[in-house]
A and B are shown apart, each in its own frame.
Chain A
Amino acid sequence: MSPLSRRGFLGLGMSAGAALLAGCSTPGSTSVNAAPVIPPASGPVKLTYWAWLKDLQKVCDIWNAKNPNIQVEAVWIPSGNSGGYPKMYSALAAGTGPDLAQIEFRTIPEFLLVNGLVDLARYGAQDYADRFDKTLWGQVSFVDGVYGIPQDSGPMATFYRPDLLERVGADAPATWDQWAQVAAELRKDKVYIDCFPLADPSWFTAIATQAGASWLRVDGDGWVINMTDDVTLATARFFDKAIDDDLVTTAFGQYSTPWFAAAADNQIASLTSASWGDALLEGVSGGEGKWRVAKMPRWSDGFGSSYIGGSTVAVLANSQHPKEALEFAIWMQTSKEGIDALIKYCGIGWSPLRDYIGEQREQPAAFFGGQRYNEEIFLPASKEQNPDWSWWPITQQSFNIIGDGFRKKASGGTLVDAIVTAETTIIDAFRNKGLTIRKATS
């Protein structure tokens, strides 16, 4: 090894490294929606669709049989934050990725931040707007663009155990005040009415949304934040008291392993959750026939229900066939055939259509003692939503910030303080991302 060749080699390595570095800027800094619209293909095309729905290929096959020119292949990915989004982000950063992908409503703005989605309004998506639920369509629309086709949602209601409530002479509570009274009675029986998930603030967010909150909105070129409005703080105060009085448990979250253990042991009398909880509840051992569904408790103002979760099917930025992808997505989400297949094979959440809940959901359910709960409870709930709610580009980070604050409740903090502090931290996080934000003045 002569010194010359070593130095020469190092020099070569350094210049190769420098060349590579010059080639890679921070991913997602160019927008596909500034490029010209891609015309429909003349020949047959093949689309890839990444989603964490099981058996999605069976739904695609129904379409494939009728549309030889647009063949869709479903690829299973881990769900959202458990690995699906990181996979999509890396694919986008590498300039590849599928044509279609499953993205939750709340994550759409996060993908916009990395210029990851095709504006479907440029391919005629607005023509189908009137087929969808207005609130959900609002959650995929930002600044004149449409960035996903609603796939499913989770209108909220209360799943409850009539037998446990009867022991304290109660029925499913109609208001949150009644809920607190019933909860106190249940505690004498060593039963919890529900749990309050300190680690995942999406439940609290949904309840605040029901109360009428609207934390972030777009104003011109920037964002306006208002997390410390009266309804949000009232909601926080209400659950501060509920936790202090030991009305709810904070030891675990809904549908977690310890929750299932407690539910099977008759220690959970109810849970206020989304429509998709029906399938999860069937995992409670010995739960068959014991559960019923009622409207969720109401605040004195606000709305009858709220949404938790829900996904869209979006067209990712590197798709070469956005027009065909949109065509497929519209078929899947607006045809009775598509919706029924999605429910049958993939078990999707609540249909985002205005006037069709799916054939299977019109049937009475044995697990819920023959109750036709979808038509009775969830259908009206899906119409009583807060239409002003909009998600923002750092939703996950904001949820983590709020969750960090909520966790302090265990060591003497309050939810109210957590919300107030979170608002400031979220403003900083927006600015650190190079975005414009201001606090609402009113």
Chain B
Amino acid sequence: MNSSTTTSTAAGEKTGRPGADRAAGRPGRRRLDSRAWAPWALLAPFLLLFTLTFAVPILTAVAQSFTRVTRQGVFGEQGVTTQFAGFWNYAQALGNDNFTASIGRMLLFGIVQVPVMMLLCTILALLLEGASARWPAFFRASYFMPYGIPGVIATILWSFLYVPGLSPLIDIAGRFGVEVDFLGADTVLWSIANIVTWSYTGYNMLIIVAQLKTIPNEIYEAAKVDGASPWRVAWTIQLPLIRPALVLTTVFSIIGTLQLFAEPQVLQSVSPAIDSEYTPNLSAYTTAFAYNDYNVAAAQAVLIALVAFILSFAFLRLTNRKSQ
């Protein structure tokens, strides 16, 4: 983006530069070859940790998702055998209505919550970066603050506003003759969505603000000269230029939605409507650590990763096609 404004003045320089680089690079390449270990040595700490804490666990999980255990005796005390199971664990995971329902629930959650949050954070970012904004630094910090509160604490805070008998909101609504139930089977998903939106809007806003700050002043000046209204500036200059940030935050939000865990886990203690497999991650957690079925849990984890991958990829494809 920066280069586009300087193209006319630096055109001559630009054409010469790649060739010069290449010429300078060639003799250097041989020297590097003789010291080929150097990048590896520098990369080693990263690669070691990456392999041990990322690659190996993922490979182990994938391998576990293809094995199953059979037991002889009442508890397997007469022998336990582990064998290759093909896609048996995947069939188990997909045959579990609670697990498929949890994925469906998160898709519904994502379709509603992600656009609402993106809209909110975009509006906030545009307002804060608007020419007439007062104390933008203060408001930026206060909108960002909820992100600094861990999800568990945020949920406990919000649960005091959700629980009947404790919540002033319910009392006030009751005074007007409105009965609200934030924790019922139909409403609790949106109560969670509210907590998530509250927590992450500020964070996403900050990414968009950062992108807005990269828009060169010349463009705004040109718009001013052309007599563009603030609406027009937002619509035809800012929105198209923060598109990469919007795409990035949306992909993060889609992935985050599928990984929802802490909020429903904590809210479970006050809402009987949240079962132990309310979200895909809760389901995998329960299968692994409450049912001790690591194999099916591994299959669930792989499936969650696949769905997140497919959704993110589809979204990226969609936005790329549009921009072309």
Q: Are A26 and B295 in contact (CB under 8 A)?
A: yes
B163 near A26: Cβ-Cβ < 8 Å: no
Of the stretches B9-17, B72-80, B213-221, B232-240, the one at the interface is B72-80
**Complex contact A30–B80 (CB within 8 A):** yes
Q: How far is the CA of A114 from the CA of B292 in the complex (A)?
A: 8
Contact between A29 and B80, CB atoms less than 8 A apart = yes
| A400-441 interface code vs B (CB 8 A; 1 in, 0 out) | 100110010011000000000000000000001111000000
Q: Is the CB of A218 within 8 A of B291?
A: no
CA–CA, A24 and B298, complex, Å:
14
A76 within 8 A of B: no
Cβ-defined contact, B64 with A26, below 8 A? yes
> Could you mark each residue 45-86 of chain B with 1 if its beta carbon is under 8 Å from any beta carbon of chain A, else 0?
000000100011001100110011111111111101110000
Nearest A-chain residue to B295, judged by Cβ: A26
Q: How far is the CB of A224 from chain B (nearest CB, A)?
A: 11
Within 8 A of A (CB), among B229-281: 269-270, 272-277
Stretch at the interface among A37-45, A245-253, A345-353, A362-370: A245-253
Which residue of chain A lies nearest to B287 when distances are taken between CB atoms in the complex? A397
The answer to whether the Cβ of B92 comes within 8 Å of any Cβ in the partner chain is yes
Give, as a whole number of angstroms, the nearest-CB distance from A88 to chain B.
10
Cβ distance B5 to chain A, nearest Cβ, rounded Å? 35
Cα–Cα distance between A170 and B268 once the two chains are bound (Å)? 35
Q: Tell me whether A11 is interfacial, beta carbon within 8 Å.
A: no
Q: Does A110 contact B (CB under 8 A)?
A: yes
Q: Provided the pairs A112-B75, A258-B164, A258-B165 are in contact, do residues A403 and B70 lie with their beta carbons within 8 angstroms?
A: no
| B185 close to A (CB within 8 Å) | yes
C-beta contact mask, A245-284 vs B, less than 8 Å → 1, else 0? 0000011110011100110010000000000000000000
A396 at the interface (CB under 8 A from B): yes
Contact partner of A29 among B36, B82, B163, B269, CB < 8 A? B82
Asked if B39 CB lies within 8 Å of chain A CBs, one says yes
Of residues B60, B80, B185, which shows the largest number of chain A Cβ atoms within 10 Å of its Cβ? B80
Task: Indicate if the CB atoms of A258 and B163 lie closer than 8 Å.
Answer: yes
Could you say which residues of chain B place their CB within 8 Å of the CB of A265? Answer: 165
Q: Please, which residues of chain A bring their CB within 8 A of the CB of B75?
A: 109, 112-113, 115, 142-143, 393, 435
The number of residues on chain A lying at the interface, defined by a beta carbon within 8 Å of a beta carbon of chain B, is 65
B310 within 8 A of A: no
Number of A-B contacts (CB under 8 A): 147
Most buried by A among B55, B74, B159, B269: B74
Q: Is the CB of B159 within 8 A of A197?
A: no
By beta carbon, the residue of chain B nearest A394 is: B291
> Given the complex of chains A and B, what is the CA–CA distance between A274 and B233 in angstroms?
67
* Residues on B with beta carbons closer than 8 Å to the beta carbon of A258: 163-166, 270
In the assembled complex, how far is the CB of residue A237 from the closest CB belonging to chain B, in whole angstroms? 21
Q: Quick check: is B100 within 8 A (CB to CB) of the other chain?
A: no
Cβ 8 A contact of A110, one of B56, B164, B276, B292:
B292
Determine if B67 and A256 form an interchain contact, defined as CB atoms under 8 angstroms apart: no
State the CA gap A292–B276 with chains docked (Å). 35
Taking the nearest CB of chain B, how far is it from the CB of A263, in angstroms?
A: 9
Q: Is A261's CB under 8 angstroms from B185's CB?
A: no
A198 within 8 A of B: yes
Minimum Cβ distance to chain A for residue B104 (Å): 15
Q: Which residues of B contact A113 (CB under 8 A)?
A: 71, 75-76, 292
Given contacts A197-B272, A199-B272, A223-B74, contact A5 B36 (CB under 8 A): yes
Chain A residue nearest in CB terms to B276 = A400
Contact among A13, A221, A396 with B291 in the assembled complex (CB-CB below 8 Å): A396
Q: Tell me the chain A residues, 1-49 only, with Cβ under 8 Å from chain B.
A: 1-2, 5, 9, 13, 16-17, 20-21, 24-31, 33-34
A86 at the interface (CB under 8 A from B): yes
Question: With A16-B51, A114-B292 given, is the CB distance from A400 to B286 under 8 Å?
Answer: yes
- CB atoms of B275 and A434 under 8 A apart: no
- For residue A442, CB closer than 8 A to chain B, the reply is no
In the complex, which residues of chain B have a beta carbon less than 8 angstroms from the beta carbon of A256? 269-270
Residue of A1, A13, A93, A253 near B39 (CB, 8 A) is: A1
Nearest chain A CB to B321 CB, angstrom units: 32
Interface check A85, CB cutoff 8 A: yes
B226 proximal to A (CB < 8 A):
no
Across the interface, do B71 and A143 meet the contact criterion of CB distance under 8 Å?
Answer: no
CA A115 to CA B79, docked complex, whole Å: 10
Most buried by A among B55, B73, B164: B73
Q: How far is the CB of B91 from chain A (nearest CB, A)?
A: 10
B76 and A115 within 8 A (CB):
yes
CB of A26 within 8 A of CB of B59, answer: no
Interface of chain B residues 13 through 60 with chain A (CB within 8 A) = 33, 36, 39-40, 51, 55-56, 59-60
Distance from B69 Cβ to chain A, minimum over Cβ atoms (Å): 5
> CB-CB < 8 A to A33: which residues of B?
77
A24-B272 contact given A33-B77, A261-B164, A433-B293, CB 8 Å threshold: no
Given A221-B74, A433-B71, A24 and B60 touching (CB < 8 A)?
yes
> Which residues from A are CB-within-8-Å of B92?
432
Q: CB-CB < 8 A to B163: which residues of A?
A: 257-258, 261
> Of residues 90 to 146 in A, which have CB atoms within 8 Å of B's CB atoms?
90, 93, 109-110, 112-115, 142-143
Q: Are B272 and A250 in contact (CB under 8 A)?
A: yes
Q: In the complex the two chains form, is B71's CB within 8 Å of A435's CB?
A: yes
A434, B69: Cβ atoms closer than 8 Å:
yes
Q: Does B318 contact A (CB under 8 A)?
A: no
Give the residue name and chain of the A residue nearest to B37 (CB): A5
Q: List the B residue with the shortest CB-CB distance to A31.
A: B77
For B275, the chain A residues whose CB sits under 8 A away are: 199, 400, 403-404, 407
User: Which residues of chain B come closer than 8 Å to A34, judged between CB atoms?
Assistant: 77
A299 at the binding interface (Cβ < 8 Å): no
The answer to whether B1 has its CB under 8 Å from any CB of chain A is no
Whether B51 pairs with A26 at a CB distance below 8 angstroms is no
Q: B residues within 8 A CB of A63? A: none
Binary CB contact string for chain A from 168 to 207 against chain B (1 if under 8 A, 0 otherwise): 0000000000000000000000000000011110000000
Selected A-B contacts with CB under 8 Å, 27 pairs: A13-B51, A13-B55, A17-B59, A20-B60, A21-B63, A25-B67, A26-B69, A29-B69, A29-B76, A85-B290, A86-B289, A113-B71, A198-B272, A256-B269, A257-B159, A257-B163, A258-B163, A400-B276, A400-B277, A400-B286, A404-B275, A432-B92, A432-B293, A433-B71, A434-B76, A434-B80, A435-B74
Give 16 A-B pairs besides A27-B294, A114-B292 with Cβ atoms closer than 8 angstroms: A1-B39, A13-B55, A26-B295, A85-B289, A89-B289, A90-B289, A115-B77, A199-B272, A199-B275, A261-B165, A265-B165, A394-B291, A432-B92, A434-B68, A435-B71, A435-B76
Which 4 A-B residue pairs are closest in the complex by CB-CB distance? A261-B165, A434-B70, A199-B272, A86-B289
Give B residues with C-beta under 8 Å from A: 33, 36, 39-40, 51, 55-56, 59-60, 63-64, 67-78, 80-82, 92, 98, 159, 163-166, 185, 269-270, 272-277, 286, 289-296
